[in-house]
Structure 1
């Protein structure tokens, strides 16, 4: 059998060099022959041989895909045969201005990618026009063509209702096996299954049997593909970073429990199959309309989709959600602006709606907060913890030895009052970065780490890693979290870790979320370089008693609630930026509580939102909107936070108007409209007013010593900052 396969591959070698349509017919004939002769394991063996013949790999992949395709359309070449050239003249239609240019490109380059021949292009103008009118839509349909095919591009959707799931068997099967990363994620889902089931029952009651649309969702784990290096699997059992795996496991569980139709890919081949990528080098659109309402992926997966979807990527990219731990600010996301103003990085620059980036913590209002969950204790477990706590026991946050480097001085101060434990991975020798007075347990499985945290009084941050899930898990197990304050704050300009990341955010502590949203008595943030301040904090902690605490937004129910709202209401493919006529200015009314705040009268709210409406025109609803003017050199993020609010970039469309300047009596010697991520804004000294010209640059982030920014804010649900009070 192996000899026969090798003969087949040898005969494929000259075909790999062929270009014209008749040659491709030969390739198709070989494909057809293989389809008629497929003993068990044949395709797997062909693939194995192909891996050893590197210069033929791409052709073998094309052959396999073609041979397995069951929905191949009739050749365009055959359809066009018999039409004289007058019927294929290049149309001059003002509605299709790019048609001629695309035809000229096809004449010169149609052999550059085999996918064109796959769709029937054969070098004739007729085939070019057929392709460009029915696949890429740059040209009008040919007059002699049946318009039914052209009109069939309109997608019809049959809405199905989502039914909550409480059995994880199907999800675990969908995830596959083999990779250590997937094994870790599946173990986590099993461990939390009881909490997910309890949470979905509670959410079901809260939503009062409200109908929910069932979405078709693809989850592509790009970071686990071989093309992306799959850097996580080799270090899962050696103390490597697992925050991303924790989050992805919880995302999968959330989408599944909410009842949506899921496909999961962790290889490039699976992605191509699910999307319907034609054979070739990725220049052509997908073979059929995208079968998914939403795609959750990461930056690696985003790049892989762009390389494989052709023009379909631009058409469907609004359906993509990018899981992005630290966030992507609009100045880095809008490519032209990033290039002109020094914000270009290896990430970012995708020209997405910034809300398509989904973060681990709610630190970037320009993005959407996806989050994860921490295990929640029941009342019996909480009572058991109170009796088992060891008051002078501390556990250090840091599984890798290099995280301890240079930290001995801080730990010695704490060791004067408490016994310090570590969970650092090592194979044979004691990690030299770890002080000898530390009791190291080695790398612990999750359930054993939970047991250790339930005994400990204190959880110590060393300054790195930034913003991981462990501090929340420790607080949920009854620990107090002690972390270093950063002065000056860490950012992309002064810290190697943040350098190159698509954000200018300034991180003032190891875990800003716990500092800002939780705080004392659960979280103590001190200057670790000040030994007196550190010692004083430890003494105070020893005298402080806390119970296990977990913010609602990091419970299973909180994550289900948040993601449910995103899926049902956050439509980023149908974003309508509303005009703001001058006559609506009368609906602005200054708040009696603040000179820099504006609220909205019921009349203007009624224009965009109604409690009984079946579809919200603007989400979050305008009823949640509040308006602030920042101080100079202050971002909208901070301006809203000062008033207990959250900056909401969706509402910039309402404040990006001259009427706002008039209402606040700002004297504008000039009003300019420019693309700038700090606009709309007012410059007091020059008395110049600025409006935003590019909607992708509406940004809560960013500040400048000359500008006071016009900031749209909103209220939020207690311990669910991603959702306004009326967002469910």
Structure 2
């Protein structure tokens, strides 16, 4: 170390590797670093510094900064040629190393759908190979214990569906995955100021908001080095206005979940809520003969009956809905799958046949027999309606007037989104619609009766994006083209996909593009962030504002975006006309444009 203290090179520092350790040849650069100055004065504030050998001396601080901090970042895995896998046995072993009701659900789903994944994989071409970590933080620690308890009582399963399908998808594509619900990061003892003891050698890290907090707490200052590798499973989405802590605070966007400062496309949603995030999705259980057992193929057991299955597994979801369900029961035998604690009597209406909480396999059998799947208004935006539609059911759901949002609904309050929810399942209403989805005013008896009468002969339907082929295609495109570690502007989707639209006052780019049967593409915003993109500007300003680029007719002012992480499809304001980057999308695959994906899939 003392040799390096007196060794001067050119203005560029030279990184040397000696005995497997990385040191910075120009020590003056280290000594000019703010962390160096902090450690000199405050190294005793956190025991983790002493754990790594810091004793206040120049040599110990230099050693710590060169060997432990991220001056010499680890070399992450490289792409290798890999064959599409034709077996999920490796995944069974990886998931099986964990335990609990949630893990059992994930493993059971992967096994039940394995043949479909394998068949879809055979239609794919050879793919690259990355090392991938799957860390569902909601299943770890005290949060995990509460989640496990909810699963056993009919709680939310949507997140588990996504984890199951994502793990199968990545495995089939040939990636090497690690799936864990254990704290494994190797944090140094102390208050979390220091990095983890060993580098993470994963190209991609899929986690959730809980897991992201675990990583930050355990990784200390090294967290910022790995940020670009994270992909966050975020069921309801995170809009850019909620993404930056300082901006959220100064502009009043209160949220319990945002403020992480990632690229908005690193958040991966269950449905395409906002194009500001990446739509991960899941796979619907289709009504195909290869999935059902022989006894289910008999005409008497697989035939559609005049029955309705109500979507709501807990008593509170039924409150105030008895009249709505009664109207349906006048024409259809009505079934429920509501969890009943031992010793408790059912509070459901007498005309409802309750099966109790069913396993996934038995629930799917019930849906195969049913004609209608009835939404009660909650849970919002789950996977079950899509699977019911794929199994030949018609989804009947409530219309919300006024729409539900963080302003008037406790469930959405605190969530990092300004979305206006017009029905229980907006995706089903907007992207599928009649005859497979009916959205009604459930307080209007005539409206409900007419909808039920109209639901007679409807064939099963599954959007491509909710098939194995569609998810493989989409996830492969993301992994191949999304690079959040690069400092360059995005090059995917290609610029020739761009369709520029200047919206009216008060409309978001989501709405502007939808009105032209297009979708907003945030990765193309940078092409519009210049004065030349506007037709006439009396003045031009650069500002940190999630509404920009935008045009204000008062003074003909053109506003440009200063912070790329605030490029927002969702933002709207009555005083601005948004300049919007729209693009076309593949039929049944809204995440991809016609020239965004390779042929031969």
How does the TM-score come out when normalised to structure 1?
0.75
Residue 321 (structure 1) aligned with residue 231 (structure 2): yes
2:112 corresponds, among 191, 197, 210, to 191
Aligned positions of 1:71-470 closer than 5 A: 93=29, 98-99=32-33, 101-136=34-69, 155=75, 158-175=78-95, 176-204=97-125, 209=126, 212-268=127-183, 270=184, 272-273=185-186, 277-378=187-288, 388-428=302-342, 432-470=346-384
Q: Distance in 1 between matches of 2:290 and 2:42?
A: 70
Query: How big is each residue's C-alpha offset from its partner over 1:31-69, in whole Å with a ceiling of 9 and x where there is no partner?
Result: xxxxxxxxxxxxxxxxxxxxxxxxxxxxxxxxxxxxxxx
Q: Give the unaligned 5+ runs of structure 2.
A: 1-17
From the superposition, tell whether residues 427 and 137 of structure 1 become closer, same or farther in structure 2 (CA, over 3 Å).
Answer: closer
Query: How big is each residue's C-alpha offset from its partner over 1:487-543, in whole Å with a ceiling of 9 and x where there is no partner?
Result: 1110001000000001111110000111111111000001112222112211212xx
Q: Distance in 2 between matches of 1:252 and 1:156?
A: 20
Matched-pair contact (CA < 8 Å) for 2:303–2:369: yes
SS at match of 1:721: coil
Matched-pair contact (CA < 8 Å) for 2:70–2:222: no
2:518 corresponds, among 621, 629, 645, to 645
Matched-pair contact (CA < 8 Å) for 1:464–1:510: yes
Q: Distance in 1 between matches of 2:416 and 2:575?
A: 24
Residue 619 of structure 1 aligns with which residue?
492
Q: Distance in 1 between matches of 2:221 and 2:116?
A: 42
Query: How big is each residue's C-alpha offset from its partner over 1:414-457, in whole Å with a ceiling of 9 and x where there is no partner?
Result: 22222211111113456554211111111111121111111111
How many angstroms does 1:389 deviate by?
Answer: 4.1
Q: Distance in 1 between matches of 2:307 and 2:199?
A: 59
Q: Distance in 2 between matches of 1:381 and 1:397?
A: 23
Q: Distance in 2 between matches of 1:465 and 1:154?
A: 43
Matched-pair contact (CA < 8 Å) for 2:158–2:383: yes
How many angstroms does 1:372 deviate by?
Answer: 0.7
Q: Distance in 2 between matches of 1:463 and 1:126?
A: 64
From the superposition, tell whether residues 341 and 98 of structure 1 become closer, same or farther in structure 2 (CA, over 3 Å).
Answer: farther
Query: How big is each residue's C-alpha offset from its partner over 1:284-314, in whole Å with a ceiling of 9 and x where there is no partner?
Result: 2244543111000000110010111122110
Matched-pair contact (CA < 8 Å) for 2:98–2:180: no
How many angstroms does 1:371 deviate by?
Answer: 0.6
Q: Distance in 2 between matches of 1:716 and 1:169?
A: 35
From the superposition, tell whether residues 236 and 451 of structure 1 become closer, same or farther in structure 2 (CA, over 3 Å).
Answer: same
Query: How big is each residue's C-alpha offset from its partner over 1:100-157, in whole Å with a ceiling of 9 and x where there is no partner?
Result: x43342133222333322332122122123323443367xxxxxxxxxxxxx757375
Q: Distance in 1 between matches of 2:111 and 2:39?
A: 53
Name the larger-Rg structure.
Answer: 1
Residue 13 of structure 1 aligns with which residue?
none
Q: Distance in 2 between matches of 1:380 and 1:288?
A: 46
Q: Which has the higher helix share?
A: 1
From the superposition, tell whether residues 165 and 502 of structure 1 become closer, same or farther in structure 2 (CA, over 3 Å).
Answer: same
1:657 corresponds, among 522, 530, 534, to 530
SS at match of 1:230: helix
SS at match of 2:471: helix
Matched-pair contact (CA < 8 Å) for 1:410–1:531: yes
How many angstroms does 1:159 deviate by?
Answer: 3.3
Q: Distance in 2 between matches of 1:294 and 1:497?
A: 31
1:546 corresponds, among 430, 445, 458, to 458
From the superposition, tell whether residues 428 and 303 of structure 1 become closer, same or farther in structure 2 (CA, over 3 Å).
Answer: closer
SS at match of 1:321: strand
From the superposition, tell whether residues 239 and 108 of structure 1 become closer, same or farther in structure 2 (CA, over 3 Å).
Answer: same
Q: Distance in 1 between matches of 2:84 and 2:110?
A: 16
Residue 632 of structure 1 aligns with which residue?
505
Residue 12 of structure 2 aligns with which residue?
none
From the superposition, tell whether residues 343 and 180 of structure 1 become closer, same or farther in structure 2 (CA, over 3 Å).
Answer: same
Query: How big is each residue's C-alpha offset from its partner over 1:610-663, in whole Å with a ceiling of 9 and x where there is no partner?
Result: xxxxxxx6011222211111111111011111111110001110001111212x
Q: Distance in 2 between matches of 1:238 and 1:107?
A: 54
SS at match of 1:241: coil
1:522 corresponds, among 436, 442, 452, to 436
Matched-pair contact (CA < 8 Å) for 2:154–2:314: yes
**Runs of 4+ deviating beyond 6 Å:** 73-76, 380-383
Q: Distance in 1 between matches of 2:77 and 2:20?
A: 27
- Relative contact order, higher structure (CA 8 A, sep 6+): 2
How does the TM-score come out when normalised to structure 2?
0.90
Q: Distance in 1 between matches of 2:264 and 2:76?
A: 28
How many angstroms does 1:386 deviate by?
Answer: 8.5
Query: How big is each residue's C-alpha offset from its partner over 1:237-275, in whole Å with a ceiling of 9 and x where there is no partner?
Result: 32111111111111111111111111122021x2x15xx
Matched-pair contact (CA < 8 Å) for 2:547–2:578: yes
Matched-pair contact (CA < 8 Å) for 1:199–1:556: yes
How many angstroms does 1:213 deviate by?
Answer: 2.1
From the superposition, tell whether residues 716 and 622 of structure 1 become closer, same or farther in structure 2 (CA, over 3 Å).
Answer: same
Matched-pair contact (CA < 8 Å) for 1:75–1:119: no
SS at match of 1:718: coil
Q: Distance in 1 between matches of 2:437 and 2:209?
A: 32
Residue 574 (structure 1) aligned with residue 489 (structure 2): no
From the superposition, tell whether residues 649 and 430 of structure 1 become closer, same or farther in structure 2 (CA, over 3 Å).
Answer: same
Q: Distance in 2 between matches of 1:181 and 1:433?
A: 28
Residue 580 of structure 1 aligns with which residue?
none
Paired residues, what number?
574
